[in-house]
Amino acid sequence: MSDTELAAPTAAAVLDHVVRSIVDAPDAVAVEQTPSGGRVRLDVRVGPGDLGRVIGRRGRTAASIRTVTRAAAAKDGVEVDIEFLDD
């Protein structure tokens, strides 16, 4: 998807901002959007060693990030699924 075709620009921007503020290597963060059925899938890639920071203890940080991003996606009028990936 190009920047002019983003289905969830607000959600992607919020997700990118929150994840970059948590990790040690913010330049390694990448958020990709993929249409998935009637939803949008947001894949978040982080640098080596940062996945644990994003997921947090018992997944609490990841759950909170998903909650905030889904609230932002409501402004875009779409539902999102978020996947955290380690490169």
Q: What is the pLDDT of residues 38-80, one digit of tens each?
A: 789 999 999 999 999 999 999 999 999 999 999 999 998 999 9
The pTM (predicted TM-score) of the whole model is 0.88
Q: Please classify residue 73 by burial: count the beta carbons closer than 10 Å to its beta carbon, then call 0-12 exposed, 13-18 middle and 19+ buried.
A: buried
Q: Where are the domains of the chain?
A: 3-86
Span 12-21, average pLDDT: 96
CA distance 52 to 59: 9
User: Which pair of tokens denotes residue 46?
Assistant: 């982080």
Whether domain 3-86 has CATH 3.30.300.20: the reply is yes
SS3 84: strand
Alpha carbons 40 and 78: distance in angstroms, whole number: 7
